[in-house]
Amino acid sequence: MTPHHGTTVAPGGRHPAALVLEDGRIHRGTSFGATGTTLGEAVFTTGMSGYQETMTDPSYHRQIVVSTAPQIGNTGWNDEDGESLLDGGNGGGRIWVAGLVIRDLSRRASNHRSERTLEDEMLAQGIVGIADVDTRAVVRHIRELGAMKAGIFSGDAVVDDETMLATVRDQEPMAGASLAGEVSTDTPYVVEPEGDVRHSVAALDLGIKTNTPRMLTARGVRVHVLPSDSTLQDVLELDVDGVFLSNGPGDPATADAAVHLTKEVLSQGIPFFGICFGNQILGRALGLDTYKMRFGHRGINIPVVEKATGTVAITSQNHGFALRAPESETWETPWGTATVTHVCANDGSVEGVALTDGSAFSVQYHPEAAAGPRDAADLFDRFVSLLDSASGDAADGSADSRKGSN
């Protein structure tokens, strides 16, 4: 069962609302945004700011987000900070979260960049929310029992508990969900750098965020954004210098087509960089398995250790699946030796993998840092350096033969 967004009600016209969890727990509150029913997986984010970037991140597709920040809406909504390139005509970006759970809805938006309120935007896009909930209790519950199916019901949709609970339990689980195709572009498009073009890359859109092409174009990279079902032939026809795999929603165990494409790219020797979902795809291509985490990593304050240097970066993350760590730090693949490059300081989970020859690497977090922090932005510089090195090889014809090989 897919999420159903509700009808609209004027701001201030509050209705009773209920957050119903799969295990039978029900939290009562009041409606804001649209009224009606929405279904999804209940998850929480620890970011104290950046709710617009969170709500428009395609990786949150089919998820009901519980905010640990006690007050939401205080900075309003603007037309610049949306992270969905598929904005459906909305200047502030399409909202991908299935619903929003908060403690306190700010009475006013107070920011010089604000153009309307959060509730105005939720009304315009039909997004159901619930306020006046003890979000601390909800988060502690999810941390203990794990992310689970949930639903927000408001207005006339609030019926007897048994009926609402049955509706929640009847929806499809996140495990096994193939969602990247639902958030990807249908047609290819190009994002041009403002200055000289140093390189061009093919970016497979599995749920790409607005700031990702921006980070690449700022470094002189022309970005060809491709649909999630693109083939190696689609990539080769562009004669690009590298391939990038984006973030995205759903279970990476279902992304066989993207894994197959990644294997083909590696066989071509094309420089490769992936983030978040793209990290899981590269890991699968290199022979690792994935698993569903208990409650995942979602926020903008998650510490990651780079194993080679011991450097810790505070990162932006949004994922509920992870790569299963290999038995040894390095292992052999058809493309050479691979290694785990980064781990989470909180729980030791895999946060990055790479081929040791440097031709392909990925991280589990979001180095484009929307809505922050910026500790990992240098990964885009590393990718450009990899493109520089590969382009240098073109002088002796090796890159040309690489692009033309089968």
Name 273's Cβ contacts closer than 8 Å, sequence gap at least 6.
Answer: 242, 243, 244, 245, 360, 361, 362, 379, 383, 386
Sign of CA dihedral 366, 317, 290, 20: negative
| 287: CB partners within 8 A, 6+ apart | 331, 333, 338
Helices 277-285 and 256-268 cross at an angle (nearest 10°) of 70
Query: How many helices, marked H, and strands, marked E, lie in the chain?
Result: 11, 20
78 labelled ligand-binding: no
Query: Please, are residues 127 and 34 in contact by the beta-carbon 8 Å criterion?
Result: yes
- Contact (CB, 8 A) for 279 and 379: no
153 annotated as a binding-site residue = no
320 is in an annotated binding site: yes
- Please check if 277 is assigned to a binding site: yes
**With contact defined as beta carbons under 8 Å apart, do 291 and 321 qualify?**
yes
User: What backbone torsions phi and psi does residue 294 show, to the nearest 5 degrees?
Assistant: -65, -50
Burial class of residue 168 (count of CB atoms within 10 Å of its CB; 0-12, 13-18, 19+): buried
Q: Tell me the CA distances in angstroms from 375 to 309, 312, 395, one per residue in order.
A: 15, 9, 34
According to the annotation, is 248 in a ligand binding site?
yes
C-alpha 398: how far from chain center: 35
Spatial separation of the C-alpha atoms in residues 321 and 131, rounded to whole Å: 28
Is 73 marked as binding a ligand? no
* 3-class state of residue 355 by DSSP: strand
- Cβ contact 18:159 at 8 Å: no
The rounded distance, in Å, linking the Cα atoms of 320 and 304 is 16
- 274 is an annotated ligand-binding site residue: no
List active site positions: 276, 366, 368
Q: Two tokens at 128?
A: 């159901």
Is position 361 annotated in a ligand binding site? no
DSSP characters for 236-296?
HHTT-SEEEE----S-GGG-HHHHHHHHHHHHHT--EEEETHHHHHHHHHTT--EEEEEEE
Closest CA to 249 of 273, 228, 272: 228
CA distance 110 to 233: 50
> Which residues define the annotated binding site for L-glutamine?
59, 248, 250, 277, 280, 318, 320-321
Binding site, by residue number, is: 59, 248, 250, 277, 280, 318, 320-321
